[in-house]
Amino acid sequence: MNILNTPFDTLFNTAPFSKIKDVDFLPAFKLAIDNAKAEIDAITHSEDAPSFENTIEALEFSGQQLDRISSIFFNLNSAETSDNIQKIAQEVSPLLSEFSNDITLNEDLFKRVKAVYDCKSSLNLPTEQDTLLDKKYKSFARNGANLSEDKKQKLREIDKQLSQLKLKFGENVLAETNNFEMLITNEDELSGLPEGELEAAKQLAESKNQEGWLFTLDYPSYIPFMTYADNRELRKKLAIAAGKKAFKGDALDNQDNVLQIAKLRFERAQLLGYKTHAHFVLEERMAKTPEKVEAFLEELLEKAKPAAAREFQELQDFATELDGITQLEKWDSGYYAEKLKQKRFDLDDEKLKPYFKLENVIDGAFKVAQKLFGLEFEEINTIDKYHEDVLTYKVTNAKGEFISIFYADFFPRAGKRNGAWMTSYKPQYIKNGTEERPHISIVCNFTKPTKTKPSLLTFNEVTTLFHEFGHALHGMLANTTYPSLSGTSVFWDFVELPSQILENWCYEKEALELF
C-alpha cells in the first residue's frame, strides 16, 4: 500500500518524509483523486434533500487525503525540488486542474449547493457556517458553474494550460538561478566586501571544487555583493545576470510563458463574465476593484514621487562627488545608498550583524510569541524532516496543550526557490468533535554559517524572519471548524496584516533586548 494513501503512523501525524519516495507521488495522487471523486459522487447523488450538513459541510470535508498529499508535494516542489519532482508536477497539475473543474462544473452538485444557498436567509446559520456557505457557492458561481457546456469545455482547456505554464515559469527561474556562477580568482576584485561575505564565497567555491571566491544569484550572495563590492563592472555583471533570468531567448526563456499566461487569464476572465483577470481576482480581495487599486496607487505616487526624486538626486550627487559617476545605474543604487547611509548616520548593517545571530533571532521571535500569546517552543528531533537543515519544534500553550508543529527552513540550496514564505503541511480544523492541530512551516534564504562564523542576519533579514513568523503564528493559532476558513485562509490582501504587525517588534527596544 502506498504510504501517502494511508493514515500516517507518526508522532503528531506528521509527514513521514524519509519514507516517501518520488515514485509514490503520481499513483498516490491518482488514487486520492479517485477516492475524492467517490466522495463527491455520494454528495451529488444523495437522495436526501440538500442541507448544509449533507452538501456544504460534506463538500468541505471531502478530498482530505488529496489535500494532504498536495500540500506535501507542492511544498517540496518549492523548498526541495528535483528534476523528478518537477516532472511529476507537470503530470499532476493538469490532473488536479481537471479534478477541480469536475467539481465546480458539476451541474447536479451545483444545483444542491444553490438549493442550500437560496434558502440561506431562513437557515439562521452561525457566522462561520454562513461564511462557508457563501464561499462554497461563490467558488462554483465564479468558476464556471453557470456556463454553457461548450464554454465549460473551453474553461477546462484554459485551466489545464495555465496549470502547466505557471509551473514551467517557476522551474525556469529556479534553473536560471542555479545556472549562474561568478567565480573571482583575483583578490583585488573583491575590494569592499566584508570578511564574512568573502569567507562564505570562498567556502561555496570549495564546495564545488573551485579555487577562488564564488558568487551566485541566491540572495545571501547577491545582495551583499551589490551593496559592498567596489568593482562596478562586476556589480553590473551580477545585476544584468539577475535581470536576464529566463529572458535570454533560450530553452529556459519565460517571455512566451508570461505572454501565454496573461492571454489565458484574460480569456478565462472574459469567459466567466469579467472585464479582466484583475476584476476577477479583486472581487475576492479587500480592495474589490482595479479602479480602487489604481486610485490608491495614484495617490501613493503623488505623495511619494517628489520625495523619491529628491532622494535619487541626492544619491546621484553623492556618487558624482565620491567617484565621478555621472549616470546612476541599477547596479549602483544599493552600493551608494549604503555608502551615504554610513556617512550620514554612521550606520553599517555589517556592524549590526554580530548582534543578530540566527539562533538568537529565532529565540527572540519565540520570546515575543511567548509574551504576546503564551506560546512555548520546544525543539524536537523525533519527527521527520525533508532536509537536514530544517529545524522542527513542538508548540504548546501556557496550559501545556499541543498547539502546532513548526518547521523552519532557513538556508538557500539548489532545490529551493529564492525568497521567503510561510506554508502549511496540515491545516487546523474540527471534525466529528475532534480537533486537528496545524503543521506550519516558514522557508527563508539567509546566509549559511561558515567554518568560523555562525549565520549572522542583516536587520532586513531579521524583519523578514519576524514577518514570516507572523504568518506562522496566524496559522498556528487557528481556531475554526472548517479547513478552508482556517488560519491564513482569508482575503489575500488581509493575510499580510499579522505578518506586518509582527515586524514592528523588531523596532522596539524592549523586544530587541530579549535577544
State the cell numbers at 342. 554610513
171, 350, 468, 503: which one is catalytic? 468
Residue 461: active-site member:
no
Could you tell me which residues come within 8 angstroms of residue 108 by beta carbon, excluding any fewer than 6 positions away?
Answer: 44, 45
Q: According to DSSP H, which parts of 348-490 are helical?
A: 349-352, 358-373, 459-476
Identify whether the C-beta of residue 486 lies closer than 8 Å to the C-beta of residue 438. Answer: yes
For the chain, helix (H) and strand (E) counts, in that order, are: 20, 9
State the cell numbers at 449. 554559517
Counting every residue written for the chain, the total comes to 515
Cβ neighbours, 10 Å, residue 477: 19
Q: Are strands 439-443 and 402-409 parallel, antiparallel or unpaired?
A: parallel
Identify whether the C-beta of residue 375 lies closer than 8 Å to the C-beta of residue 403. Answer: yes
CA distances from 248 to 171, 217, 417 (A): 15, 16, 20
Using a 10 angstrom Cβ sphere, with 0-12 exposed, 13-18 middle and 19 or more buried, the burial of residue 102 is middle
Identify whether the C-beta of residue 470 lies closer than 8 Å to the C-beta of residue 436. Answer: no
CA distance from start to end of the chain: 48
Q: Are strands 213-215 and 376-379 parallel, antiparallel or unpaired?
A: unpaired
In which residue are the cell numbers 514577518 written? 467
DSSP assignment of 187-239: GGGGTT--HHHHHHHHHHHHHTT-SSEEE-SSHHHHHHHHHH---HHHHHHHH
Could you tell me which residues come within 8 angstroms of residue 498 by beta carbon, excluding any fewer than 6 positions away?
Answer: 470, 471, 473, 474
Could you tell me which residues come within 8 angstroms of residue 424 by beta carbon, excluding any fewer than 6 positions away?
Answer: 71, 438, 439, 440, 441, 475, 487, 488
Cβ neighbours, 10 Å, residue 380: 15
Q: Are strands 421-426 and 376-379 parallel, antiparallel or unpaired?
A: unpaired
Angle at 368 between CA 223 and CA 366, to 5 degrees: 75
In sequence order, what are the beta bridge partners of 378? 394
d(CA 395, CA 383): 13
Q: Are strands 429-431 and 213-215 parallel, antiparallel or unpaired?
A: unpaired
Active-site positions read 468
